[in-house]
Structure 1
Amino acid sequence: MTLKSKNIETILAEKRVFKPSKKFQQRAHISSMKEYVSLYEKSIKDPEKFWGKVASELTWFKKWSKVLDETEAPFYKWFVNGKTN
């Protein structure tokens, strides 16, 4: 194995968690690891519901008719017929 590939494998196996300062946490949209894990689990459990809710917080010129179209998987279409900048 070359040194370069070892470095890539090391990065892929990274397990460390770097905690932000308290000051940074107070200003963050996601203020704790617990909140992050909760959001992540919701996004995995029901991606259409999760991303539909997130997308509704954006400004749309035209709202989508369907959050996720899987009919041509693996070529997924997100926010079908929606238009935003």
Structure 2
Amino acid sequence: MSDGNTIESVMDEVRRFPPPKEFSEQAHVKSLEQYQKMYEESVADPEAFWAKMASEELHWFARWNNVHSWDKDNAIIKWFEGGKLNVSYNCLD
């Protein structure tokens, strides 16, 4: 018998808890619809999506040459090769 207090019942959570309106208005991603649109763009064309995000959201001292390159045989992934930024500048500005 299940009384609803088992670990399995807790792991099957489907309720949604929308944030307060004031919080959403200040958020970078303001709605679930906006998030879903961004997700779809990122899956459809990851290189264009991440180039756009990097250009809009970060200050670069030198722009990158390639958004990403990867060598799946050696599990090597490189992002924004040739680009120069200062993480603390982006975090504090």
Task: Tell me if TM exceeds 0.5.
Answer: yes
Deviation per residue, 1:5-26 (Å, 9 max, x gap): x69xx3xx65443310111111
Structure 1 residues 3-82: aligned runs within 5 Å: 10=11, 15-57=14-56, 58-70=58-70, 72-73=71-72, 74-82=75-83
In structure 2, stretches of 5+ residues that fail to align are 1-6, 87-93
TM-score between the two structures when normalised by the length of structure 1: 0.75
Deviation per residue, 1:20-58 (Å, 9 max, x gap): 011111111211101110001111111110000011121
In structure 1, stretches of 5+ residues that fail to align are 1-5
Structure 1 runs, 4 residues or longer, greater than 4 Å off: 13-16
1:3 aligns with none
Aligned length: 75
Q: What is the identity percentage for the equivalent residue pairs of Structure 1 and Structure 2? A: 44
Larger Rg computed on CA atoms: 2
TM-score between the two structures when normalised by the length of structure 2: 0.69
**Cα distance between partner residues in 1 of 2:47 and 2:32:** 23
